[in-house]
Amino acid sequence: MADHRDETPTRAHSWVIAANEYVRQRWKNELGWTREILAWPNPGNWDWRLSIAEIERDAAFSAFPGIDRELVLLSGNGLRLRFDDGEVHELLPPHQRLRFAGERGVHGELLDGTTHDFNLMWRRDRLVADLWHRPLVGPMVVFAEPHSTWVVHLISGRATFADDSGLPPLAAGDTAIFAAGDARVRHVLDGGGEALLIRLRAAGSE
């Protein structure tokens, strides 16, 4: 897997991470497994992180102080999140999601078998994150504003880039990263299926 990390904010950078390149690793609390897609700018000191949790049994989630996170059910029959403060929330098919603070104590309970859950995490003092679930029916244009990063995670289907980027096609499970530099970056994705779209910007840049 090529290392595409670049901490120089002036240079635009776009690439695709194939699903078979994700790195399988233990949760921070050792109670489960995840497939890390990307931790930016590096795994040891990241500002944002993308991963897919493999939840095979009921377990407490790892604590991440100072981090906000959004969890999206990708597959499986559902996951119940039981927070230490008494809140209970269920993620049900097809792709329900929940945003919550990483320092909140929470226990995951499987409703009926294993689930796979997309996990977006970011440092709330540095970044603002937005996540959308969108159908992909024909062309989709993504504009990355200067100094922002966009992510496209293809949940299902196939897609190609109908522009001059030279990026490889996306298969189900693949992820594309569009990191804009000083100028806006434009990509055209053409295909069919479902995708998660994520926008990351510096805090205070709204």
Same domain, 96 and 172: no
| DSSP 8-state code for residue 102 | T
Measuring CA to CA, which residue among 181, 152, 167, 143 is closest to residue 6?
181
Q: Domain residues for 178?
A: 127-202
Least confident of 2-16, 79-93, 116-130: 2-16
Mention every residue, 6+ apart, whose C-beta is less than 8 A from residue 87.
none
Question: pLDDT, tens digit, for every residue of 132-190?
Answer: 999 999 999 999 999 999 999 999 999 999 888 889 999 999 999 999 988 888 999 99
Question: pLDDT, tens digit, for every residue of 72-86?
Answer: 999 999 999 999 999
Residue in this structure with the two tokens 């504009």, named with its chain if needed: 143
Same domain, 74 and 27: yes
- Interatomic CA distance for residues 178 and 186, integer angstroms: 9
Which pTM does this prediction carry? Answer: 0.92
Whether residue 67 is contained in a domain is answered as yes
Same domain, 148 and 178: yes
Same domain, 32 and 78: yes
Question: pLDDT, tens digit, for every residue of 49-75?
Answer: 999 999 999 999 999 999 999 999 999
